[in-house]
Amino acid sequence: MKNILSIHWALVAAAWYFGNGILHDIFVLLNHKGKYDRELLRLLMDGHVLILSGAVVFVCYLMMLNKIQCGGLISIIVAAAMLIYCGMIFPFLKSFGTMAISIILIIVSIRAMYSFPNIYDIMQKYK
């Protein structure tokens, strides 16, 4: 069970978010006819939200590799935001993969935070 829910799910989530954001922007640009307008900007922003989420979760993965608790906390926030995002676009796009990966990321991040050393306890040793 420990190997199944390893922090490497954060790397999977980062790649999933980032890759889907890149693909989203590519397909939006390929299918858009006409000039740069508000609709194109809105569609490109959806892709950029995914790209930014992937980049942030990748940094969180690196933090969790170094047993920094904040990495887990930030990845929980990003995964929760992605679940809200998926809920908002659900009538138009059923993103079951993104929702499943986000839920797994939340579980993995919570487990990781509890297994890392507590920063407050470490600081108390040096007082």
pLDDT tens-digit readout, 32-45: 888 888 888 888 99
For residue 2, is it within any domain? no
- C-alpha distance from residue 122 to each of 23, 64, 116, 119 (Å): 43, 17, 11, 5
For residue 31, is it within any domain? yes
For 77, the domain range is: 8-125
Model confidence, pTM: 0.86
For residue 47, is it within any domain? yes
Question: What pLDDT score does 25 carry?
Answer: 93
Helix (H/G/I), strand (E/B), else coil: 93: coil
Question: What pLDDT score does 2 carry?
Answer: 60
Question: What pLDDT score does 115 carry?
Answer: 84
Q: Which residues of the chain have pLDDT under 50?
A: 1
Question: What pLDDT score does 85 carry?
Answer: 93
**What is the number of domains present in the chain?**
1
For residue 3, is it within any domain? no
For residue 85, is it within any domain? yes
At 122, list the tokens. Answer: 């470490």
For residue 1, is it within any domain? no
DSSP character for 34?
Answer: S
